[in-house]
Amino acid sequence: MERNGEQTPKRPNFLFILADDLGFSDIGCYGAEIQTPNIDRLAAEGVRMLNHHAAAACSPTRAMLMSGTDAHLGGLGVLIEYKSNKQRAQRWSGKAGYEGYLNNDVATLPEVLEDNGYFTLMSGKWHLGMRASQGPWQRGFQKAFAMLPGCSNHYGWEPVQERFPVGGRPIHAEEGKKVDITPNMTEDPEGFYSTDYYTDRLLQYFDGRSDEDKSKPFFAFLPYTAPHWPLQCSKAQRDKYKGMYDDGPHALRERRLKKLVELGIISKSVVPHKMETSTVGAGEWGDLTVEERKLSSRAMEAYAGMVDSIDLNVGKVVDYLKKTGEYDNTFIVFMSDNGAEGAAMEAVPVMGENIKRAIHQYYDNSYDNIGAWNSYTWLGPLWAQASTAPSRLFKCFPSQGGILVPCVVKPPANTFLPSLTQGSFNHSFTTVMDFVPSFLELAGVSMPPSIEKKVALPLHKKTATRKMTTFRGKEVHAIRGKSWIPFFQRGEKVEDSELWSIHSSSEPIGWELFARGALRKGDWKIVHIEKKQGGLGEGDDGWELFNVVEDPGETKDLSQDEPQKLHELMALWDEYVVECGVIWGESAAAVGLGFDEAPELWEDDVELQKSWMGARGGECPLP
């Protein structure tokens, strides 16, 4: 590995702040009524990316962010907790690319930066592996405090011993060893609250740097688990938004759309997608009782309070960096990992009744208690679609509502061209895979040249051509993302178009998760969503076609009007399936490797969590 030319004395620092399930318009500078002055100030000093894409859910986005390549190549073709039942296990278990943890076929950004003189640290949600050997301390972070599963009670309390509801328990670890968190059942401001605690732990790592560490540039990762359910925050933060949502999600959606137009984020001509109800397990707002509407609006107040809390903690980190004199030389990114969470948890097959029973047994979701340490509520499909408007649907869908995310970038001083106005918008098509090449270029680090390699795919009955490079003497997948630096620093455009300044309009980009798929090339996008959820999908067949530049709301399916374009993109989809090892069609029905042949492809989320729960603090139950 080589560095590009002479190293300047001050290479930039990097701070990446990741919100969990935050919708496109859920922060002030993207049109929200929620108070986010600290994030808004970052936007005023930097750039708001308006065409920035993540994966449709948390783990795949994290894999893409860490590796700079497709989530399937990194082992996150599926979330590990979604492999639990027999039907899902048949489709995904025993199949490479669907391990459910970040595999060793990719080099991570912190690993590369660590090898090139950076101090690397993180605090927060990991969700890229439950074993100690899969934790952030094994993937390049010199200091790391991690919440390992997909979610947990934000006050560290978990009364339910069975698997409830989906995702995780408050399992935290540091340097591979379990950390016992004292449940904060009094909501003591000095006690555990996830957003505060993760921030404070990161700042403690900063404070604990040796003189040698302080002489190095840093890469800091601060992935919150807010505003992911359960919706919990202090009563003071919840009550800042009291009454603000009493008129319901439809009214909020209209206000957000109006504000997006006023800010110039969307055009007045944009046709928003209709709010889906029955197709996503939701009833009509008007059909709810007065009491149900009151409780639902209170849950939205708690959600707003969680976002408010994120902003306060962003301010805390910014103030620290200003105090230490490191702020001006720090590249700061704030973004969400996917669209707003819209699952109607009570409607989840099998778990629905269990969720209701557990809530009634253990939790208090009365009006005054919503948001408290012993409450358990979620946003639901209607409020989520207020957050993702004008886009279609929300998290877990490859429609724009699931993958288009807010992204605020504050560059180091004198890094971007002076012609790029502070506080401006940028409409370039970008993806979360782009941060690895962008950060490496700014750090003066280059990976060895990639080579093409033929790889047999037995399940697909085909051979894939993949670009590979080397890292620490091992072959790994080459970076697929594109650096932003040629455009932002030197004004070099891939094409003479703001939309295609960084990526080429001829480059296909694919998404797949939970047997839903999408592929975009230029202005066009194909989408595969099940018929029962409003799409055309039957099995792995059935695709809609949209011109997402003219129709960002994905309201007009052109698959019948533009058969040639549909055929072109479907052919590219078939290539993407092979290139990235996506389980689709024949490979979905094929039998994967058995447990005895490949136990690493059969990791069990429930058993892994039980092992941590049964361990004492300071122990490492899962090497």
The residues assigned a catalytic role are 58, 127
**Which of 485, 491, 499 shows the shortest CA–CA distance to 427?**
499
CA distance 340 to 228: 9
Per DSSP, 294 falls in state: H
Q: How far is CA 167 from the centre of its chain?
A: 15
SS (H, E, C) 77-128: CCCHHHHCCHHHHHHHCCCCCCCCCCCCCCCCHHHHHHHCCCEEEEEEECCC
CA distance 622 to 611: 7
Tokens of 417: 């061209």
Q: How many CB atoms lie within 10 A of CB 613?
A: 14
CA distance 41 to 240: 20
CA distance 314 to 223: 11
**Which of 341, 418, 427 shows the shortest CA–CA distance to 380?**
341
Query: From the DSSP assignment, how many helices (H) and strands (E) are in the chain?
Result: 17, 21
CA distance 228 to 325: 33
Among all chains, which residue has been given the structure tokens 């595969």?
528
**Which of 434, 413, 433 shows the shortest CA–CA distance to 422?**
413
Per DSSP, 454 falls in state: E
Q: Tally the C-alpha atoms within 13 A of residue 171's C-alpha that lie toward its C-beta.
A: 31
CA distance 194 to 210: 27
CA distance 335 to 405: 7
Per DSSP, 15 falls in state: E
Cis-peptide, bond into residue 165, ω within 30° of zero: yes
Four-residue CA torsion sign, 360, 246, 372, 308 = positive
Tokens of 473: 């003497």
CA distance 166 to 106: 28
Residues 6+ apart with CB under 8 A from 307: 19, 22, 26, 27, 32, 34, 36, 226, 227
Cα separation values, 235 from 19, 27, 400, 604, Å: 21, 20, 33, 37
Q: How far is CA 232 from the centre of its chain?
A: 20
Tokens of 241: 């938004």
